[in-house]
Structure 1
Amino acid sequence: MEKTSSIHASDINIIRKKHMRLFIAGLILLALIVVTGTITNYNHIDGLVSVPAALQWLFANMYFSGSTLSRLPTVLRLLWETVLISIVSTTTAAFFAMLFAIVGSKRTSVNGFLMYFAKLVASISRNIPVVAWALILVLSFGTNAATGFLALFFGTFGFLVRAFIETIDETSGDTVEALKATGATYPQVISKAVIPESMPQMFSWVLFMIETNIRSATLVGLLTGTGIGYLFDLYYKQLNYEMVSLITLAIVVAVLAIEVVSNWIRREIL
């Protein structure tokens, strides 16, 4: 009976400690909100109060009439161009990312220098935002589709290298050791053990990046003058809110459709 009581008291103490940690974390978060608001001169109360007026303006202006629908084919054509650029840049980056991930993973690395070099290149690529890549590349390549492709490629490459390295590191080491024990060469170990086991999760990451890049491609298009982003920027500067609304709706529908398809594919392969 005494042992049961002591166990019960220990559980209560653990729960109390967790609640105390959550309370302290909440206070820290609240303090950060207040401090950042003070530094940036942002009033959170005024921001919340302005939400109803912002929504009222949105519903009053962001609509489109029947005449605007006549331009829908142009919107769909440029949207399709944006989707294709996103897919091509993601799949191309995935190919190179897989090569760097194989070299950069502890489980499959050739030597320490190449491993850290691959991680360094991926880290630099990943930590430069896609928008910054677009601005840098515009100076060299101008405003064209190639600039948008390269901006998405470099941003995607860095992220996928890290995701692929973690995926390879999580593969079973027993299969690799078994193949090495039978005298398998390094390419055989990669092709027969590492890649088959890692491929489903890698493919899931590629699908995730395609969804992400379709959103990013819209923003990149604003800077490179290509795709649906260029059309959005054009009509936004003209204060043509009907076309802006139509373009926004088309982008949302396209992203949701691709998300549904990618989720179905994930369920089939994972």
Structure 2
Amino acid sequence: MNAKIDIINKKRIQLTLIFIVIILVVFGAKTLTEFSFADGIMSIPGTLMWMGANLIPNAEAMENFPKVLEKLWETIVLSVISTTTAGIAALFFALFGSKTTKVNQPLAIFSRFLASVFRNIPVVAWALVLVISFGHNVVTGYLALFFTTFGFLVRAFMETIDEASVDSVEALNATGATYFQMVFRGVIPDTLPQMMSWVFFMIDTNIRNATLVGLLTGTGIGYIFDLYYKRLDYPTIGLITVAIIVVVIAIELISNKVRRLIL
């Protein structure tokens, strides 16, 4: 009984210390940046009024709507292609890195290391590095999204395989099944719905990321957003913003519907 009380007290002390550290970090950052919470809150009404006066699409902005749709479609296609190809590549590395389906320990360690590297480098960093090598084009945007998605999906697929397919793998191994029989008859059928759910999640995420990547690589909706922003064409900026929001919401609704059907 006393041991449980000591554990509870230790957890309370740890949580209190963490809370104090967070408070100190917040106020330390506030002091260093000279940020004022009161000024930030007071500026909200003025910001909303400015947005209402400048970001409402007008007739001239609607004339640019075909261009916006063209670049928006390019962004959607880029996101879907980068996610699906990264998903296919991630499946193989996830099989090699999973504790359940690994071929050998060195390959499993390499797969996990590779996934960790690609996952922890932000998509913006990938875009900046790749722009130097490949220039401002679609290939740069594709690779930036591919690398980030690949790292995330390898990790997600490995965890899915480890959690969902242990019993079926053990049963197949007990019957003398080969590695490929174990993978295609035991692992894939059990984990495919959850893997597809992760793929749809990343398509939804990459629609957002592709907009930011486009600002850096000169592709997709990000490029046209940057173009009209530099012209100070705020009504068209508002039109682009609304178009992005509508597409993101639509993609999310579709992906949620598909995930519910396959799970």
Q: Normalising to structure 2: TM-score of the pair?
A: 0.92
Asked if residue 238 in structure 1 is aligned to residue 231 in structure 2, the reply is yes
1:24-63 correspondence to structure 2 within 5 Å:
26-63=19-56
Distance (whole Å) between structure 1 residues aligned to residue 86 and residue 237 of structure 2? 31
Normalising by structure 1, we get a TM-score of: 0.90
User: Can you give the 5+ residue segments of structure 1 that lack an aligned partner in the other structure?
Assistant: 1-5
Counterpart of 2:195? 202
Aligned residues: 261
| Cα 1:107/1:249, change in 2 over 3 Å | same
Matched, 1:100 2:100: no
Letter of the 1:43 partner, please give it.
S
Partner of 2:258: 265
Write the distance in 1 (CA, Å) between the matches of 2:174 and 2:198. 31
Q: Describe the superposition over 1:15-53 as per-residue Cα deviations: whole angstroms up to 9, x where unpaired.
A: 999888766655443333212212333222322222222
Q: Residue 177 in 1 paired to residue 170 in 2?
A: yes
Shift of 1:139: 1.2
- Does residue 74 (structure 1) correspond to residue 67 (structure 2)? The answer is yes
RMSD: 2.2
Matched residues in 1 for 2:111 and 2:192: separation? 20
Tell me the equivalent position of 1:215: 208
1:76-155 aligned within 5 A: 76-155=69-148
CA displacement, residues 168-202 of structure 1 (integer Å, 9 cap, x when unaligned): 11024221111111110001101111111111111
Counterpart amino acid of residue 260 in structure 1:
L
Q: Secondary structure at the match of 1:170?
A: helix
Report the equivalent of 2:181: 188
Counterpart of 1:3 in structure 2 is none
Q: How far apart are the structure 2 equivalents of 1:202 and 1:172?
A: 13
Q: Check conservation: 2:165, 2:191, Cα contact below 8 A.
A: no
From the superposition, tell whether residues 18 and 115 of structure 1 become closer, same or farther in structure 2 (CA, over 3 Å): closer
Moved more, 186-195 or 64-73: 64-73
Q: Structure 2: state its 5+ residue gaps.
A: none
SS of structure 2 residue aligned to 1:183: coil
CA distance in 2 between counterparts of 1:220 and 1:176 reads: 40
> Which structure's CA Rg is the greater one?
1
Secondary structure (helix, strand or coil) at the match of 1:109 reads: coil
Aligned to 1:251: 244
Identity of aligned residues (%): 56
2:131 is aligned with what amino acid? Answer: V
Cα distance between partner residues in 2 of 1:58 and 1:130? 29
Distance 1:123 1:14, change over 3 A: closer
2-structure distance, mates of 1:154, 1:14: 43
